Structure 1
Amino acid sequence: MAGLFLLPIISSLAWLLFLHYNNIPLKQGRKGFMYILAISVLLILTLTALLWLTAYQHQAY
């Protein structure tokens, strides 16, 4: 879970390599970076909420 911050970095690097390999300009591939960022933030927020919710279950007993 602690290494989750690497998800957007690795995904962005893979997207950058894909754009470079296919000779697509960065300006044209900007939308892909936005999708990577949005999905990563959504995933991180969801997992954080799940950890926060389940932490109280263990304290109640």
Structure 2
Amino acid sequence: MVKFFFLIPLLLSLVWWQYLRVNGWTLEQGKRGFYYIIAFSVAIAVFFGFMYGLNHYLN
């Protein structure tokens, strides 16, 4: 399961890029959305890393 976590930002970025393309926006106009995707993905990685460490060291 963890080995597929890299797909989260890839899929979100692909969906965001498609949304921009369909609505006629440029990548420059949608740059903030990519920043949000990166921040969200990092937050998920930090959370799961923290949970893994917490469970690994408490047992």
Give the TM-score, by structure 2 length.
0.92
Following the alignment from structure 1 to structure 2, what is the Cα–Cα distance between the partners of residues 57 and 46?
16
Aligned length: 58
Q: Residue 36 of structure 2 corresponds to which residue in structure 1?
A: 35
Partner SS for 2:12: helix
Once the two structures are superposed, what CA deviation does each residue of 1:8-60 show, in whole Å capped at 9, x if it has no partner?
Answer: 011000000000001011100000000000010011111011011101222xx
Q: Residue 21 of structure 1 corresponds to which residue in structure 2?
A: 22
* Structure 2 unmatched ranges of 5 or more: none
Answer with 1 or 2: which has the greater Rg: 1
Partner SS for 2:4: helix
* Structure 1 unmatched ranges of 5 or more: none
Give the residue type in structure 2 aligned to 1:14. V
Matched, 1:6 2:34: no
State the Cα RMSD in Å.
0.7
Amino-acid identity (%): 34
